[in-house]
Structure 1
Amino acid sequence: MTQVDVLGSASTKIDVSIVMPCLDEARCLPVCIANARDALETMSHELGLSGEIVIADNGSRDGSQLIARALGARVVDVEQPGYGAALIGGLRSANGAYLVMGDADGSYDFRESVDMVRRLDAGADLCIGSRFKGRIEPGAMPWKNRHIGNPALTFVLNLFFRAGVTDAHCGLRAITSPCFERLDLTGRGMEFASEMIIKAALKQQRIFEVPVTLHRDRRDRPSHLRPWRDGWRHLRYLLMFSPAWAFAVPAILAIALSLGIWALTGVAALAENKSPFGNYWIILAGSLLGLGHTGTVLAAATHFYGRRQGFRPPAWWEDKVVDWFSLETMLVAGSLFFTLGLTILLSVFGYWSSRNFEPIGTVLPAVVGTTLIVIGAQNALAGFLLAIVNGHEANFVDRTEAKNWSDAQRHSTRAPIATLNAAGRNCDETASDRAANGGR
């Protein structure tokens, strides 16, 4: 298909691409495309930017493709089903340096994306619309989504990744083409919205927000959104990208509870059975300690894998942590735990046999020995797992590369929000200068 520039000829250089995912939106497309055209005309007059409208069609059967082409948009057929898949297909096919995305159901006015493009032109990498800073029309969002689902998931996202956004799931947003390439987005469903912000925060991209209005959509059919299913998809994605909260925090809680039970059981032993905590509680303590150890190993493995895949830059403390979790260290520690536990169990067996195998009245030594053996064996096996995750040489990251990355991060500057605000306010002047010089 040939490229169609909605503001000029097919040969015109494209600065902004407005991309809409589409699945049976024939009723809504005319209004959405008209608003997008108005937005592009405003960008042309005020910012000197040319643009195109791209409809990422996900298998519409109501003639949406014909309507879009008739209205001057470029249609990209995306075979893989899903909201995220449609957007990724459309964004990859877009030609603009700035990429605007929004739903094709009339719930967003694309004219509000002009301010987003201003922010990108001023230096932001990603600009998110905020319905909570803006306005939500009556009936535009279900009560449970507005007061429970969206605020809760946005809170968790900010807690895990420090993104600093107020509306993590707004469907109207803009991103620079280089930032889109850096994020390497893969989410096929509604989790695409969370993935974009998570990866942008992890990769320390400049994230900005502008207030937008959520309108009642113009559909005459049920929404594609499934609140419980899509909410779980978002939460699952948050946990997948945050090994600290998925594994480390539960592991720490399990270990702390285990140590607390050990302490209370010790007090019970000193109190000569005057405490309700008998030595059988040690069984629970040993199980929790093993669970905590497993969680710690999984947290380390997923953290190292995330770094290796480029989800986040190496931190200053990682060299030491990698040494702690090297194959050799894990094998030595595992052998020590295993040997100590086996020694305790052999001592218990010797004492038991000396009493003609009569009940010895306590499970404490046996549970301690068994726990140490289990942790020792897990430690040795975990050493091989971490070696595989870290690479054949059991080193997570080349130290020279890590040092160079750290130095680069230290010398780089990140434009503050105030600077972006000021730059955004001055966009009209820079656009006028650019137009006077013959465009971009």
Structure 2
Amino acid sequence: MPNSAAVEVSVVLPCLNEAETIETCVRKALQGLADLGVTGEVIVSDNGSTDGSPAIAGAAGATVVHAPVRGYGGALICGIEAANGRFVIMGDADDSYDLANLGPFIAHLRSGRDVVMGNRFKGGITAGAMPALHRYLGNPLLSWLGRTLFTLPGVGDFHCGLRGFNRDRIRELGLCMAGMEFASELVIRAALAKYSISEVPTTLQRDGRSRPPHLRTWRDGWRHLRFLLVFAPKRTLLVPGLVIALAGLLGTACLLPGERHAFGVSFDVSALVYCSLAVLVGAQLLLFGGFARLYGIQEGITREDKHVRWTRWLSFERCVLAGVLFGLAGLVSTVVVVTDWGTAGFGALDPRVTLRVVLPSATAIALGIILIFSGLFASLLSLRPTGRNGPGHPAAAEAESEIPAQRQIAEAPRTSQV
């Protein structure tokens, strides 16, 4: 093995029962580095294999580390921590990526790029290497969302598993997602930190395994999408919610006095129903955006903006106060309507008149109830148990499972040579 102080590139491969392909991957990566004249190493981060993969990898020339946190991200974080190189190139251990052709990644990293993404759509995907659902829907859609939400016009393959980065710069981000979301977290955090990101073509071939892949289409696709939403609640929830709520309020204000005509169309109480609905839907989206942001902050996934700490408005007290005010306003309006109805002898009323008061009143009451329970939910998201010191405490096991992957890895033994 090379002197750790002289290592320039570390190739990190997460591994879970890859006995069929791990030797090929290790030898390809080592030979590729040698052909380039690069001093490097291969780190295989084992995630609990039971098929002898660690021993095979070690015999092929890799340094094997054992990840204490299960999951794709947990294995990669452990491998990155154990890497000695200035640059890290992460890949898969299923022989689907061209680990013998890492020159373009290394060239971009040497030029000062913080992150270099592979693009399988530009490099070439062999027949059967990627399911049609992933190739034509999943990857293009999630990549488009990533580019749009985080202003990454140069990243055409958001979820390519072959990518390189400056090890120290990535460690500064404090990556913590233990699952498949790690792939999105790395790019998103790098983009938010204004890191320089470039892209190079790479190829994808059919993997060499006889068993199904670990990736689960719908489960992992949803986890990636959920992660994008947590990191970008402003664009995905807050802005749409604000637009819908304001449109509903404007429509309600216009229709309260009476029927309106525009573009040759008459708008009356039927339109008022949908305006009230828009107010409720917009408010829900705003609250969900706040919940997503609060969850990300509390779990250490995202950070609160020091200049705009708007999540403070989701405190239980503020939400209850706003909810009570909206509820009282709705109740007062309802009392007025019922009083007028009583004056008329509780007989038939003109719905075109009464609904102009009933609908906003009911909407205000509903909004008040939503706000009160939203404040309760927000306070539950903020709760943290305090008695975590003793291993016998009931919350200890649960608390241990909440520790981010990077923290657990830092507390565990770093490497073991096979």
Letter in 1 for 2:199: E
Aligned to 1:430: none
1:187-226 to structure 2, matched below 5 A, reads: 187-226=177-216
Q: Are positions 1:285 and 2:275 aligned together?
A: yes
Q: Which residue does 2:226 correspond to in 1?
A: 236
Query: In 2 relative to 1, CA 109–260 (structure 1 residues): closer, same or farther, beyond 3 Å?
Result: same
2:172 to 164, 182, 185: 182
Following the alignment from structure 1 to structure 2, what is the Cα–Cα distance between the partners of residues 97 and 370?
62
What residue number does 1:311 align with?
302
Whole-Å Cα distance in 2 between the matches of residues 306 and 231 of structure 1?
19
Residue 359 (structure 2) aligned to one of 350, 367, 385: 367
Which residue pairs with 1:412 in the alignment? none
SS for the counterpart of 2:161 is coil
* Letter in structure 2 aligned against 1:112: N
Maintained 8 Å contact 1:127/1:174? yes
The one-letter amino acid paired with 2:233 is P
Residues 1:356 and 2:367 aligned together: no
Write out per-residue CA displacement over residues 94-141 of structure 1, whole angstroms, 9 at most, x where no aligned residue: 222211111111111223323222322322111111112222223322
CA contact (8 A) 1:280 1:363 kept: no
Give the match for residue 412 of structure 2.
none
Unaligned 5+ runs, structure 2: 384-418
Return the offset for 1:93: 2.3
Q: In structure 1, how many angstroms separate the alpha carbons of the residues matched to 2:279 and 2:333? A: 17
* Equivalent pair of 1:267/1:275 in contact (CA under 8 Å): no
Residue type matched to 2:8 in 1? D
CA distance in 1, matches of 2:182, 2:301: 18
Q: Select 1:122's aligned residue among 111, 116, 137.
A: 111
Residue 8 of structure 2, aligned match among 12, 15, 31 = 15
Q: How far apart, CA to CA, are the structure 2 residues paired with 1:119 and 1:370?
A: 60
Q: Residues 256 and 356 of structure 2 are in contact (CA less than 8 Å); yes or no, is this contact kept in structure 1?
A: no
Aligned to 2:32: 39
What letter corresponds to residue 186 of structure 2 in structure 1?
Answer: M
Tell me by how many angstroms 1:154 deviates. Answer: 0.3
Q: CA deviation at 1:209?
A: 1.0
Q: Which residue of 2 aligns with 1:24?
A: 17
Q: CA 1:59/1:377 → structure 2, altered by over 3 Å: closer, same or farther? A: closer
Shift of 1:168: 0.8
- The CA deviation string for residues 407-429 of structure 1, in whole angstroms up to 9 with x for no partner, is xxxxxxxxxxxxxxxxxxxxxxx
- Tell me how far apart the structure 2 counterparts of residues 236 and 325 of structure 1 sit (CA, whole Å): 21
Distance in structure 2 (CA, Å) of the matches to 1:170 and 1:118: 18
Determine what percentage of the aligned residue pairs are the same residue: 37
Deviation at 1:354, TM superposition (A): 1.8
Contact 2:173–2:190 (Cα < 8 Å) also in 1: yes
How many residue pairs are counted as aligned between the two chains?
Answer: 376
Question: Residues of 2 paired with 1:219 and 1:23: CA distance?
Answer: 12
Q: Separation in 1 of the partners of 2:68 and 2:311?
A: 43
Following superposition, the deviation at residue 375 of structure 1 comes to: 3.7
Secondary structure at 1:363 match in 2: helix
| Residue deviations 1:298-334 (CA, integer Å, cap 9, x gap) | 4245446657858368487x37x68988999878866
Q: Which amino acid aligns with 1:31?
A: T
Displacement of 1:205 in angstroms is 1.5
The residue that corresponds to 1:396 in the other structure is: none
Partner of 2:406: none
Deviation at 1:33, TM superposition (A): 1.2
Aligned equivalent of 1:143, options 121, 132, 140: 132
Contact 1:255 1:292 in 2 (8 A): yes
Contact kept? 2:259, 2:266, Cα under 8 Å: no
Relative to structure 1, the CA distance from residue 300 to residue 348 in structure 2 (aligned partners, 3 Å threshold; closer, same or farther) is: same
1:37, distance to aligned residue in structure 2 (A): 0.8
Asked if the contact 2:229–2:292 (Cα under 8 Å) also holds between the matched residues in 1, the reply is no
TM-score relative to the length of structure 2 = 0.76
Q: Does 1:154 align with 2:143?
A: yes
1:183–1:151 Cα change, 3 Å:
same
Partners of 1:283 and 1:367 within 8 A in 2: yes
- 1:131 matches 2:124: no
TM-score, normalised to structure 1, is 0.73
Does the 8 Å contact 2:260/2:267 carry over to 1? no
Q: Distance in 2 between matches of 1:132 and 1:347?
A: 65
Choose which of 159, 168, 171 in structure 2 pairs with 1:169.
159
Aligned-partner Cα distance in 2 for 1:58–1:314 = 35
Q: Is the 8 A contact 1:163 1:198 kept in 2?
A: no
For structure 1, the residue ranges without an aligned partner over 5 or more in a row are 392-440
